[in-house]
Amino acid sequence: MTATALPASAPVAVIGAGTMGAGIAQVAASAGHGVLLHDAVPGAAAAGRDGIGRGLARLVDKGRLSAADREALLGRITVVERLADLAPARLVVEAIVEKLEVKQQVFRALEDLCGAEVILATNTSSLSITAIGAALARPQRLVGMHFFNPAPVMALVEVISGVATDPAVADCIHATAGAWGKTPVRARSTPGFIVNRVARPFYAEGLRVLQEGAADPATIDAVMRQGGGFRMGPFELMDLIGHDVNYAVTSSVFAACYGDARFLPSLVQKELVDAGWLGRKSGRGFYDHRDAAAAPLAATADAAPPPARVTVSGDSPLLPLIAARGLAHDRADGPGGVEVDGVLLLPSDGRTATEVSASLGDRPVVVHDLAGDWLTAGRTAVARADQTPAAALAPAVGLLQALGLEVSVIDDVPGLIVTRTVAMLANEAADAVLQGVAAAADIDTAMTLGVNYPRGPLAWAEGIGLGRVHTILENLFTTYREDRYRPSALLRRKVLGGGRFHA
């Protein structure tokens, strides 16, 4: 049976009038609800409503909202100074400080003030819904309703159920989020829910490549943007989020998962936090934001001569690009690479170029990174095997440049940059499916809408080939011998059984 959303006539209360709370109030009012906006800090709710008004005025100036609609929307938001004034609400959304005891205290008070049928929703991004509900008389009426900032703009809402949450309550909030113009996904109350859990490798692998001295932040970010198709690289995004916040989330998930190595925080990031270099908000992070003109450039190889002709072996991912650019080439059996002037250019399979070269009798080898879409990619990373002469880089670089790519030469780190990151994102997503955190479709939706990934990690893995992703992970694990890189049991099962995550 299809769940029913709260009718627009149902009053909605929002507790907390900061950026997130005010944004949620605007979303609910835009859907036609009367909204009661409350904040424990005197004057904060009024300031929050005024902020909504200013934001709507900018939309009016841009012609995206009429002045009459602005006034009508603001008219549906009522500032209330007392918690008791929220008694008429059918839904209360809490967006206050991330402290368990404070949230429990507020919800206990609401249980006494509101009717037994009120739905209590928390916008927490890190606390357990089950733990919050443990202090309540009616924990079945509590559900997570996690918006993403800015709430009026971001489409995603994670609907999170604790162990006591009534499925009908979660269904109602799922339907309500949809009625509010959002895209809801369902998750079980586990550390990080969907987005904050599955996204950890995006930061962790960039930090690991930096820690191993393979490339600098500007180069890693450029490869992830121009090669992987991500909107921002990991260091740009961490500087934007704030290292105190990002490090705290990683530490929280790591602790909540009893020290699971997959979520191990980075000493590199901790050093920035200890230094007070928190990113944009403090002026310094991985980048110096005090002087935009001093922004570092990505390492980019000098121009090299283009090849006259190349030989493409096996199922090289570069073949469509070679054909599209009209580069003269021959076809041959082989390991799925491109031979140019005696140098074999191969896609990364999670091994170092040095290991690949050794497996081929010390043949000259250069490995290249993964691309989100080779036909639109603007950059890729390459690494040379230790056995391969430095001069052998030029033919490989010249080939990639002839295909329209900027090339960043990095040190020989296993999995390069995009390859290891995408494999690890897919692995974490697979484990989230295995552990019942969320369905595969909801995970991919969450990651594309919540953090703007170019593709959902599981759909991306299927596009690459689940077997190839599993091989990359196995090779990373073999190199590092760290539990962090263990392939998901469900991913392995899909590979062995010929299954998929999406129909």
Enzyme catalytic residues: 125, 146, 158, 196
CB of 113 closer than 8 Å to CB of 84: yes
Cα–Cα distance for residue pair 311/339, rounded to 1 Å: 5
CA-closest candidate to residue 271, choices 259, 260, 283, 284: 284
Residue pointed to by tokens 């596009």: 463
Segment holding 105, helix H or strand E? helix 100-113
Residue-by-residue DSSP string for 316-370: -TTHHHHHHTT--EEEE-SSS-EEETTEEEEE--SS-HHHHHHHTTS--EEEE--
Cα–Cα distance for residue pair 36/334, rounded to 1 Å: 67
Query: What single-letter amino acid sits at 389?
Result: P
Beta partners for 368? 347, 382
The dihedral through the CA atoms of 427, 429, 434, 437 has a sign that is positive
At 429 the three-state DSSP class reads helix
Residues making up the chain, counted from first to last = 503
**Two tokens at 182?**
């959002």
Q: How remote is the C-alpha of 434 from its chain's centroid?
A: 19
CA distances from 305 to 166, 301, 302, 340, 393 (A): 66, 12, 10, 12, 11
Cα–Cα distance for residue pair 191/198, rounded to 1 Å: 10
CB-based contacts of 487, cutoff 8 Å, min separation 6:
427, 470, 473, 474, 477
CA-closest candidate to residue 164, choices 193, 192, 194, 129: 129
Phi/psi region, residue 57 (left: phi>0; alpha: psi -120 to 50; beta: rest), is alpha
CA-closest candidate to residue 48, choices 152, 185, 122, 129: 152
Characterize the bridge pairing of strands 310-313 and 183-188: unpaired
CB of 403 closer than 8 Å to CB of 327: yes
